[in-house]
Structure 1
Amino acid sequence: MSDKRAGDAANTAVKNDRATTKTDSVGRPGVEIDEKPPTDAPPTGIAALIAKIMALKPVRVLLRFGASGGEIMASGMSFQAVFAIFAGIWVGFSIFGIVLAGNPELMDAVIGQLSNAIPGLIGDEGAIKPEALAEARILGWTGAIALIGLVLTAVGWLASTRDSIRRLFKLDPPTTNFALLKLKDFGLAIAFGIAIILSSAVSLISNQGLSLAFDLLGIDTRSPFAGVVGWLVGVLVVFAFDTLVLAAAFRVLSGVKIPMRRLLAGAAIGGAALGVLKILGSQLLGGATSNPLLASFAVIIGIMIFLNLVCRVILIAATWIAVGMEDAGLDPRSLTPEQMEVERQKRVAEARDTLVAAERERLQAAIATEHGLARRRLRKKLERLDSLDHAEAVKLVEKG
């Protein structure tokens, strides 16, 4: 009798559209998908054009950016960036001011680098006067306490950036100890400050090298050609710096496992976009200052708008990498083969549960409309389905 029931269970197939629920060789509800030729013709005309546009990677990147809350995350990051930048500059010049004060050319190069990075931040008409930076020092207990508060403010932006990037990669927040994360952020902030000084030194050396090369070639350093070459070298130095900083943010700060080729490609796209923003930054600031209602704090408004655009570029570049990895089937997490197998089995179990639930609902609806022998057969099918589903659930619990 048991063999007969097993045979009946194995041969029972209840078709619901394209899904057929039956049991496999181990008594587990299985699903067969009947292959049916597509009945809908491929889209043509405007529909085909829209489908092609929606399939483009830039469009999918922007859609994912919006669906992941990129607008809100960029706004929050830019709000924190305003305080983090002023705090970071004060802390940086307080720590490195003694070194920079002994080299006026390097000091001017660093100030120029910061001024180019954020238009309107430093200058005679900017939010920060250059003379104030030269006088920034940590004096006494009050200065030390202020330094701690400013450091926490500066590293807070790094924490927001890390969480935002991980959200775009569809990853959970890191499980690392809170104190270790803050220590890591502080180290990255110090490294970022050192990188600014190094890039300023490289820019200074490259300018001096260009001047020497022009003198050897007999080219007037004040000629338009020399000016264009010097501008291009400066742009390339800034582009390389921005690319390296973005690569560090995407890989080191967020802790996302990204192949080097995709990492550098996404960081380069972000670096190029940031370069365009910096070139157009003075125009943006001029638009803010031209509004008479904002004249009293136009510089701060311009900086906030600029930082909002910068944060958008950072997150969109991260989204570009995330979509590319997803297209290539790359998981940003560091999973062992055993963990990947567990996740595969979990997805299979979830799909099975979904189909079993749909089949159960269909049988229950059919029972409510049938009578007599047909209703009894449907009840037996439903009982077998519930029995097999329960046995599979017990097996999964014991396995887990």
Structure 2
Amino acid sequence: MADNTTQPPAAPTGIAAIIAKVMKLKPVRVFQHYSSSGGPLMASGLANQGLFATFAGLWVGFSIIGLVVAGNPELRESLVDTIANAVPGLIKSGGTDGAIDPDDLLSAGILNWTGAIALVGLFFTAVGFLASAREAVRRIFAIAPDSTNFILLKLKDLGLAVGFGVALIVSTVLSTVSTSALSWFLAVTGIGAESTVGTIGGRIVGLLVVLVIDTAVLAALYRVLAGIPIPFRRLVGGALIGGVGLGVLKLLGGLLLGGASNNPLIASFAIIAGLLIFLNLVCQVILVAAAWISVGMDDAGIAADPVAAAKAQAERERIAELERVAEKAREPHGLARLFRRKRRADDDGGDS
């Protein structure tokens, strides 16, 4: 008699085995999840919204800086440097070139009709950007849109927008304090702040401060803005990856804007094109980091939406029970046994 036992498929060998191993790597699965969730498309939409929010934010931000810290040139210069580092190649700062002279923005003023328009524009663009970012991150985690009251969501977005602005100021203060402390330490030790060691040390301290702020902002975006219950360790790990990615983009941002200006086809609007490319990459880094957290939670069996996961599990159990009943009914005399069992259960219920 022929053996009809089904043999398990043979394990892949050679190039197929290498491809199979590569496809199981977490970075590969993260990018697959990011692409299948519509990440590139969502990043493009966020970049478009971020472009308008950036221009309105620069106008309002520099106007406020000109009013509040006009008597403190050192703090004003630090704030300008922080903003210039956040969007490389856009603002002239120190010895670096930029497309926009900060003095023109500092003298614009916010107490006029142009400032009022910019303030209103900043409100709508910033809140709209955060709302879109929330839905994009939730889609990466395969979670339905937030059903919270519309007004409460907008108030939440507004509060976070203000919080991100405060984070920028805190970053500036920390950078200034840390740089001053490092300069004092180098002076005490006799090394000197202008030495090679002092210059490199100051640069490293500045990068670390920016990394901490970027990581904290991304963690707030994933946990608070999107409202996803992410375990702390995975939240910090994913946000740190995103923070490193943003740091690399900031270091290379000047090259992006410079490359756009060297293209004769887009030379007339090189600033907008370069900034749009930069913002698109920033949004992609944000969503890829979210995909990293999502894949890690799936691997660990952690539900991003516990309520939806419980409902899905109950539905799977219900379907499994129906399939079991159907399988019993297909057995010889199975249907008759089911009817007898049901009649007996009904009789027991009537007697009680």
TM range (shorter): 0.7 to 0.9
With over 3 angstroms needed to count, the CA separation of the structure-2 counterparts of 1:202 and 1:298, relative to structure 1, is: same
1:167 positional shift: 0.2
With over 3 angstroms needed to count, the CA separation of the structure-2 counterparts of 1:309 and 1:140, relative to structure 1, is: closer
With over 3 angstroms needed to count, the CA separation of the structure-2 counterparts of 1:67 and 1:386, relative to structure 1, is: farther
Contact persistence 2:50–2:125 (CA under 8 A): no
With over 3 angstroms needed to count, the CA separation of the structure-2 counterparts of 1:97 and 1:191, relative to structure 1, is: farther
Contact persistence 2:303–2:309 (CA under 8 A): no
2:280 matches 1:311 = no
Structure with the greater alpha carbon radius of gyration = 1
Contact persistence 1:91–1:151 (CA under 8 A): no
In structure 2, how many angstroms separate the alpha carbons of the residues matched to 1:117 and 1:179? 30
Q: 1:345 aligns with which of 304, 314, 317?
A: 314
- Cross-structure match for 2:222: 250
- Cross-structure match for 1:105: 74
1:50 positional shift: 1.2
With over 3 angstroms needed to count, the CA separation of the structure-2 counterparts of 1:342 and 1:152, relative to structure 1, is: closer
Say which SS state the counterpart of residue 265 (structure 2) adopts.
helix
- Cross-structure match for 1:179: 151
With over 3 angstroms needed to count, the CA separation of the structure-2 counterparts of 1:295 and 1:43, relative to structure 1, is: same
1:215 positional shift: 1.1
1:90 positional shift: 2.5
2:18 matches 1:49 = yes
Range with bigger deviation, 317-326 or 288-297: 288-297
Structure 1 length as normaliser, TM-score? 0.76
In structure 2, how many angstroms separate the alpha carbons of the residues matched to 1:342 and 1:173? 17
- Cross-structure match for 1:194: 166
- Cross-structure match for 2:37: 68
2:96 matches 1:121 = no
Superposed, 1:65-104 pairs within 5 Å as 65-95=34-64, 97-104=66-73
Superposed, 1:111-150 pairs within 5 Å as 111-123=80-92, 126-139=98-111, 143-144=115-116, 146-150=118-122
1:293 positional shift: 2.3
**Structure 2 alignment gaps of length 5 or more:** 344-352
In structure 2, how many angstroms separate the alpha carbons of the residues matched to 1:84 and 1:386? 65
1:226 positional shift: 1.4
Structure 1 stretches (4+) deviating beyond 6 angstroms?
A: 354-360, 383-388
Say which SS state the counterpart of residue 292 (structure 1) adopts.
coil
Contact persistence 1:88–1:151 (CA under 8 A): no
With over 3 angstroms needed to count, the CA separation of the structure-2 counterparts of 1:358 and 1:304, relative to structure 1, is: farther
Contact persistence 2:47–2:283 (CA under 8 A): yes
Q: How many residues end up aligned between the 2 structures?
A: 335
- Cross-structure match for 1:10: none
Contact persistence 1:120–1:127 (CA under 8 A): yes
Q: 1:223 aligns with which of 192, 195, 211?
A: 195
In structure 1, how many angstroms separate the alpha carbons of the residues matched to 2:339 and 2:62? 72
In structure 1, how many angstroms separate the alpha carbons of the residues matched to 2:263 and 2:339? 73
**Structure 1 alignment gaps of length 5 or more:** 1-35, 364-376, 392-400
1:110 positional shift: 1.2
In structure 1, how many angstroms separate the alpha carbons of the residues matched to 2:323 and 2:12? 30
1:38 positional shift: 4.9
In structure 2, how many angstroms separate the alpha carbons of the residues matched to 1:69 and 1:356? 39
In structure 1, how many angstroms separate the alpha carbons of the residues matched to 2:15 and 2:328? 38
Range with bigger deviation, 37-46 or 185-194: 37-46
1:89 positional shift: 2.6
The amino acid that maps onto 2:41 is: I
In structure 2, how many angstroms separate the alpha carbons of the residues matched to 1:387 and 1:165? 50
RMSD, matched Cα:
2.9
1:278 positional shift: 1.1
2:255 matches 1:283 = yes
1:163 positional shift: 0.3
